[in-house]
Amino acid sequence: MAKNLRLMKYEWMVEPTPQTEWIEGGGKLIWLALFFVELGAGLFFFSIFFSSLWGMLLGWFIVLALGGGSFLVHMGRPLRAYRALMRPQTSWISRGVIFIGLFGVIGAILMALSYVAPNLNLFALQIIAAISCFLVALYGGLLLNYIRAIPLWNSGMLPLTLIVAGFWGGAEILLGINLVTGASIERVEPWIRVLLPFFALLIPLYLATIHYSSVTGSGSVRRILAGDLALYFYWGVVVIGLVLPLIVLGFSISGGPATISPSLVLGAIICGLIGDLTMRYCIMKGALYSPLI
């Protein structure tokens, strides 16, 4: 009887109601799609300015195949995906499809020219490609932020937090690519010194902002910090995703990147990606709709 009353309260939304459409069952594809799209855009962005064709190719693949593919599979009828382009003036989904499409075309042209004519001055095209990367990385946060009924998402801190996470992850992957291919890591590593601490600072600021925004927002934060998501947050986000990479970063700052073993650096990169993905899971899973009454 108590369970039925609880379900009735959710059905009529007279108390904060969990968001399930984008994280339960097939909805997990949205969680993965947003992660891959922002991660790939961050990787492509840094690969442009560090002249890494391998990084651009991998970033392009992550955005279109893994991110865009997850979106298409979630739609259920991929052949009707063109309908998502119909309302860019009102729909962030339409804008996202356009951003990703433009990124795909511009990125392919840049990679082709970089391969066949490596000595060609492509600065203007690189700037355009970098802007498209930024728009793709920003899209996910703006999409969630647009949903005003969910306080955990309807915060200006969310797009900033997600884009920093995506660019940090992209810089990490490029660092790993350079490490594996024997390219220099000294130029990429300083970016991680900035983005990782900034990301670590943004998470508590973001949660504190949501906690004091509304009763429903406070409920979402309690789910993450002291409820059913606490294990994911403290182990996945804090310990694996932040503490371990920060320890490796500390060794790198004190002794220089060359003093850290490649296996330790790769381990820190994997930990960082796990932390980013887990953080996004907590944000998607912890979302509560504000009650209508």
CATH of the domain at 29: 1.20.1630.10
Q: Which residues pair with 289 in a beta bridge?
A: 17
Burial (CB count <10 Å: 0-12, 13-18, 19+), residue 221:
buried
Going by C-alpha positions, the residue among 9, 282, 24 that lies closest to residue 162 is 282
Count structural domains, the chain: 1
Structure tokens at 141: 């946060």
Question: Whole-prediction pTM value?
Answer: 0.92
Mean pLDDT of 27-48: 96
Is residue 4 domain-resident? Answer: no
Pairwise CA distance, residues 229 & 223, whole Å: 6
Write 190-195 long-range contacts (CB < 8 A, 24+): 191/46, 192/168, 192/249, 193/249, 193/252, 193/253, 195/164, 195/167, 195/168, 195/171
Task: Give the domain extent around 121.
Answer: 18-289
Mean pLDDT of 156-172: 96
Is residue 10 domain-resident? Answer: no
Is residue 2 domain-resident? Answer: no
Residue 4 has pLDDT above 70, yes or no: no
- Give residue 33's pLDDT band: very low, low, confident or very high (50, 70, 90): very high
Is residue 8 domain-resident? Answer: no
For the chain, helix, strand, coil in percent to 5 are 80, 0, 20
Is residue 12 domain-resident? Answer: no
Is residue 5 domain-resident? Answer: no
Is residue 219 domain-resident? Answer: yes
Is residue 35 domain-resident? Answer: yes
